[in-house]
């Protein structure tokens, strides 16, 4: 195995352990044993458990942000953009369950990267401009858009955490219900929400 291949192997093994046992419940000994190497090999590549964790988390953040950013850059109506953002996050949960489990756990003490709250804040800032445009159109104060963006992204993220272990609904159904509440509010809920035909065709 080349040095790069070994590093990738250790990242994959570490990712699985962090997802299954959390940061505190994972040891370098277990990671090394699962990879079939000695502890010094892990230390050589990452300097310790914190270094390995930081690399794993950074990759997950990059993957999730890339999906959501792509969804928000795809054009369409404001509602379609919100639908696509919700679907992108749920798509990540669906196909990267281990990574999502890692992200929603608390970061270890002193860990600057990987805060799920800071990740959601990054995504919220990308949603700001969509909501601000809608607020102006409806003669609402656009200064409140960042607060509503936090609410919207938080709602989707928390629903994603719930859906991770409660798969009674299909991904597009979950997204439709989230957007139903976000778009229509409790007083305007649709009886049988569905995504717009354009979004469904893309999914």
- Condensed to tens digits (0 to 9), the pLDDT of residues 130-152 reads 788 878 877 888 888 888 888 88
What's the pLDDT score for residue 106?
A: 57
Residue 110 predicted with pLDDT over 70: no
171 burial via Cβ count (<10 Å: 0-12, 13-18, 19+) = middle
For range 79-90, the mean pLDDT:
88
Tell me the three state secondary structure of residue 65.
Answer: helix
As a CATH number, domain 57-188 is 1.10.357.10
CB-CB contact of 95 with 12 (8 Å): no
As to burial, measured by CB atoms within 10 angstroms (0-12 exposed, 13-18 middle, 19+ buried), residue 149 is buried
pTM exceeding 0.75: yes
Q: 181 with 189: CB under 8 angstroms?
A: yes
Q: How confident is the model over 148-192, as pLDDT tens digits? A: 888 888 898 889 999 998 899 999 999 999 999 988 887 787 788
Mean pLDDT across the chain: 87
Q: What percent of the chain has pLDDT over 90?
A: 39
- Contact present, 23 and 49 (Cβ < 8 Å): yes
- pLDDT score of 115: 66
Does the pLDDT value for residue 100 go beyond 60? Answer: yes
The answer to whether 196 and 79 have CB atoms below 8 angstroms apart is yes
What pLDDT is stored for residue 111 in this prediction? 53
């Amino acid at each position: 195995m080349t040095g790069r291949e070994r590093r990738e192997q250790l990242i994959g093994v570490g990712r699985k352990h962090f997802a299954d046992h959390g940061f505190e419940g994972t040891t370098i000994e277990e990671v090394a044993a699962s990879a079939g190497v000695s502890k010094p090999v892990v230390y050589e590549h990452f300097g310790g458990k914190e270094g390995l964790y930081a690399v794993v988390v950074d990759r997950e953040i990059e993957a999730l942000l890339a999906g959501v950013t792509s969804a928000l850059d795809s054009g369409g109506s404001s509602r379609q953009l919100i639908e696509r953002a919700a679907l992108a996050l749920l798509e990540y949960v669906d196909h990267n369950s281990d990574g999502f489990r890692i992200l929603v756990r608390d970061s270890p003490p002193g860990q600057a990267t990987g805060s799920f709250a800071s990740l959601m804040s990054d995504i919220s800032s990308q949603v700001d401009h969509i909501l601000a445009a809608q607020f102006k159109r409806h003669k609402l104060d656009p200064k409140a858009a960042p607060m509503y963006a936090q609410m919207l992204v938080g709602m989707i993220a928390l629903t994603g955490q719930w859906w991770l272990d409660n798969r009674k609904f299909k991904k597009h159904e979950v997204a439709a219900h989230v957007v139903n509440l976000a778009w229509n509010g409790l007083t305007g809920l649709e009886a049988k929400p569905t995504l717009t035909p354009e979004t469904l065709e893309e999914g």
